[in-house]
Amino acid sequence: MNSRFCDGLGALTLGISALLGCSDRDIDPSQTETDALQPVEPTELLSYSCRQDETKESTPPGSAAKLPKTLRETNRLLGVAVNAAGLEDPAYAKTVAEQYSQLTPENEMKWDAIEPEPGVFDFTRADTIVAFAQANGMKVRGHTLVWHSQLPAWMEALTGTDAVRAAMTQHIQTVVSHFRDNFPGVVVAYDVVNEAVNIAQGAMPGASVYRDSVFSRELGEGFIAEAFQIAHDTDPDALLFYNDFGIEGMNGGKSTGAFNIVSGLVAAGVPIDGVGFQMHTGPTDQGPGAADFRANIQRYADLGLQVEITEMDVSLCSIGANVLGLELQRYRYNRIVSACFDSPACRSVSVWGLTDPNSWLNSNGCMQGMIVLDTQPAPLVFNETFGRKPAWWGIYDGLMGCSYQ
């Protein structure tokens, strides 16, 4: 028990230390990087008790072996969403390459970026990211082939079953074959279909489980199976995922809807390899809780599928990016990342952006009703100077087989 800090912490964190458990960190600080290490000072002293799994492949904290210095060195498949412009910044590129082993283009592979006009494909910015991954020995998740959002106006306005089917087929075939042929073995997985479950499903009785889109309107619910089949026929080696938000836990109409759709695909022999949970979440252990998430992973694993966390961020809007918020964020990252990697079905975990200023959540800021709050989401694991936040330690500990209690 680190009584010195636990004692001092009580008033500051409203008893959170007691809630989480407080024990000495097993990691020898002298073995860690010092250049980029700059979480708020007191948090460095706070640690949690761990459920240590000694059977994990990675070096257990406290062992004599040299500890990994970066997330990437822990040898788990850990990803980050990047953008092509960001990679032009040497500090950004260095941190990405040191810390992560998988990239997701944040916007560059979306339909509006890659096929802005019918049949006119522009791979320039997507290729920048895939080439960076290739040069650094990383994998890429292709995001995303079929999605209702970030579609060019011409695609959104397309009508007629044949026209939509032809456009979808050409798009998937052209994108998947481009990366298959130009970067063999690099784009190993695709979010074939993104967010197809109706956001209102469950809340509004009678609402369709399928979200309205040009695809569902013109092709019917079979568009999902069709898209997976086309992607599989184009690159049989690629892993094919259904990706969504709000389906991370067991309960609720949307989770049930997604599970029913995916189970149906599996039963029908559709070539689907797994499910991506976006995991845009907050600092409390809910939405979903770690135990709920574990149970949900298991029911997909029981179908023979892989699972991934594809877009994790932990917004601090509700609590503020203060010492308590940053510590809860560390706890939350640890619990969720551990839940995934504790399952043999978990392929990878990805965060949705490198540094806090890079986060897509900044575009809306923190709102309460119509009021913009004077706090920041600060949802990621590196700060604006590429320094490691407490959340970085949450992931690191999880990758080292240490799940906080």
Contact 365, 359 (CB under 8 A): no
311 is a catalytic site residue: yes
Number of chain positions touching ligand XIL (CB under 6 A): 6
CB of 149 to ligand XIL, least distance (A): 7
Question: In the stretch 271-290, what mask flags binding to ligand XIL with x, by CB under 6 A?
Answer: -------x------------
Give min distance, CB of 50 to ligand XIL, in A: 32
Return the number of the residue (85 or 203) whose C-beta is nearest ligand XIL.
85
Distances (CA, A) of 262 to 3, 187, 225, 265, 305: 49, 23, 10, 5, 10
Task: Give 99 or 243: the residue with its C-beta nearer to ligand XIL.
Answer: 243
Using the rule CB under 6 A, is 360 a contact of ligand XIL? yes
Report the residue closest to ligand XIL, judged by CB: 360
Among residues 22, 79, 106, 277, which is the contact residue for ligand XIL, using CB under 6 A? 106
Instruction: Given the residues 108, 226, 248, 311, select the one marked as catalytic.
Output: 311
Question: Cβ closer to ligand XIL: 242 or 331?
Answer: 242
107 binds ligand XIL (CB under 6 A): yes
Assess 194 for contact with ligand XIL (CB under 6 A). Answer: yes
Give least dist CB 94 to ligand XIL, A. Answer: 22
Query: Smaller CB distance to ligand XIL: residue 7 or 89?
Result: 89
195 is catalytic: yes
Distance between CA atoms of residues 3 and 334, nearest Å: 22
Catalytic (active-site) positions: 195, 311
Provide the binding-site residues for ligand XIL, judged by CB under 6 A: 106-107, 194, 278, 311, 360
